[in-house]
Amino acid sequence: MKMIGSGTLSKMCVRLEDPVQYAMSLSGAELPLNKLIDSTTKMVFTGEIYCVDCGRKTNKSFNQGYCYPCFQKLQQFFTCLIHPEKCRCEAGSCMQDHIVYLANSSGLKVGITRATQVPTRWIDQGATQALPIIRVRNRFQSGALEVLFKQYVSDKTNWRDMLKGVATPLDLNLKATEILNKFSSEVDEIKERYNPFGVSILNGIEMVDISYPVTRYPDKITSYNFDKEKIIEDKLLGIKGQYLIFEGGVINLRKFSGYEVELHH
């Protein structure tokens, strides 16, 4: 077994194909992963962690890759991520067009993402089906709609169920019609309150089906953790969401952004 790459981890790069094509990102270099599936792969954590924002060395990572000073500095950004309906930004990514969507990963869910992150966001969540339903002008408006719709449908993904197999197929167009009919007056109110021309219901959009490179799903989910074990050597069974699925456990690579890792095969 030889080292085929090393560097600091970022979330995996994805490309929507059948199945999804994955690459491990190590200090910006993209290492294709699909070809490693069904073979023994080794990852070694060197013990070094670097902030994904400022690049300084840190003993502990906060919020998927930040040193503590950067984590504190970016609190407003994190508030927008967790509670978009509280967003007060007047510039940057929060002021870009956002999509409100339905997805099926561990079951039906509603979500939001920047328009430029379609379909990447759906893949990162391990969705097998996705459907955009509304386009808005900023994150705050999308957050207001998400808060409204999650009274009726979950806004969470059960990551353990997502990793156990393919979700039962759903008619997302029918679900979208149900939700939009149920909340039609509230959606009209949001249009009038914020921007009647900036909240657009999307009609005639085809549902996106997504398949993942997995040869076998685990019956029981256990997790690998670089904070507890520096070497992971196991047979790679597949990739879904931002998880590598091994025979002995799964690992969310995005969780360990900023960790310096060697990849061996």
**C-alpha–C-alpha distance, residues 132 and 103, integer Å:** 9
Where in the chain are the domains?
3-63+213-264, 75-209
Weakly modelled stretches of the chain, pLDDT under 50: none
CB of 141 closer than 8 Å to CB of 98: yes
201 has which bridge partners? 134
3-state SS, one letter per residue, for the chain: CCEEEEEEEEEEEEECCCCCEEEEEECCEEEECHHHCCCEEEEEEEEEEECCCCCCECCCCECCCECHHHHHHCHHHHHHHHCHHHCCCCCHHHHCCEEEEEEECCCEEEEEEEHHHCCHHHHHCCCCEEEEEEEECCHHHHHHHHHHHCCCCCCCCCHHHHCCCCCCCCCHHHHHHHHHHHCHHHHHHHHHHHCCCCCEECCCCCCEECCCCECCCCCCCCECCCCCCCEEEEEEEEEECCEEEECCCEEEHHHHCCEEEEEEC
Amino acid at 46: T
pLDDT score recorded for residue 81: 67
CB of 2 closer than 8 Å to CB of 263: no
